[in-house]
Amino acid sequence: MVTQKQREQLDQQGFLLLTNFSSSVLMDELQEAIESLFSQEGEEAGSEFKQELHSRRLSNLVNKGEIFRRLISQPDVLELVRLVLGKQYKLSSLNARSANPQQPTGQPLHADMGAIVDSHGPWVCNIIWLVDEFTEENGCLRVVPGSHRENALPQDSMNDPLQAHPQEVNVTGPRGSLIVLNAHLWHGGTANRTANPRTALHGFFCRRDKPQQQYQKKLIAPVLQRSFSPELRHLLALDDSENDRLAQEQVARSGFLK
């Protein structure tokens, strides 16, 4: 599915855009599920983790619908995660983010969980489903190619990570595309200056020897957990005693949200 040239881009630049990865029918189903949850949760949407000014967020989505569990289990998606993290990985969190219309500003450049590559290599990977088209005007992703190799965070290297970086590029693509992100890469959502929201689903994965951003075992209803296949339980680290121990560690859970 992924060419050698694409593998090299992901390795060297830290990101890969796969256009038309998902069908419009699947994106319609996903958008309906997301908007239904936004309507149900109202002002509490995203509160299981962190809320964000000028954007709507949903958290703990494995617990909130079969479509979300189906997407994170796609073999093609998991193969992309392995390209970044190797064979030993788990889901760290599954969230949705919708950039509000007419935003005054976007996100600061950041690395997810404030993570820096360690001696074993990369340990965070973000898979982004484009529920809406990403354009230059509606809050697309900006990235600094190659910055995942810096072994530094933007807040330690820039006077103001909200400002443009001289090497940054915008990642745009049609609805149904997928972005694979080595999440050590400096990145952030840009301001949505259109009249419509811009929505994406974020599947965040980490290496198995690192703590999850959101401790899935605690968040997912026990009765639902009991219905999961062995493969899904493994992906979520539900039966992993080391993951239980790691969940108790005090670590940065976000690269920029307080």
Domain spans, the chain: 4-246
Q: What is the pLDDT of residues 193-242, one digit of tens each?
A: 999 999 999 999 999 999 999 999 999 999 999 999 999 999 999 999 99
Whether the per-residue pLDDT at 114 is higher than 90: the answer is: yes
- Looking at every residue in the chain, the average pLDDT score rounds to 97
pTM of the model: 0.97
Give 134's pLDDT tier (boundaries 50, 70, 90): very high
The second-level CATH assignment, the architecture, of 4-246 is Sandwich (2.60)
What's the rounded mean pLDDT across residues 154-176?
97
Dihedral sign from CA coordinates of 109, 159, 255, 193: negative
Q: What angle do CA 242, 243, 249 make, to 5 degrees?
A: 95
Contact 90, 242 (CB under 8 A): no
- How many helical (H) and strand (E) elements, i.e. helices and strands, does the chain have? 9, 9
For 45, the token pair is 């949407």
Q: What is the pLDDT of residues 92-101, one digit of tens each?
A: 999 999 999 9
What's the rounded mean pLDDT across residues 47-62?
96
Give 1's pLDDT tier (boundaries 50, 70, 90): confident
Q: How does DSSP classify residue 80?
A: H
What's the rounded mean pLDDT across residues 21-47?
98
Q: What angle do CA 211, 116, 234 make, to 5 degrees?
A: 30
Cα separation, 70 vs 249, in Å, equals 29
What's the rounded mean pLDDT across residues 130-152?
97
Whether the per-residue pLDDT at 258 is higher than 90: the answer is: no
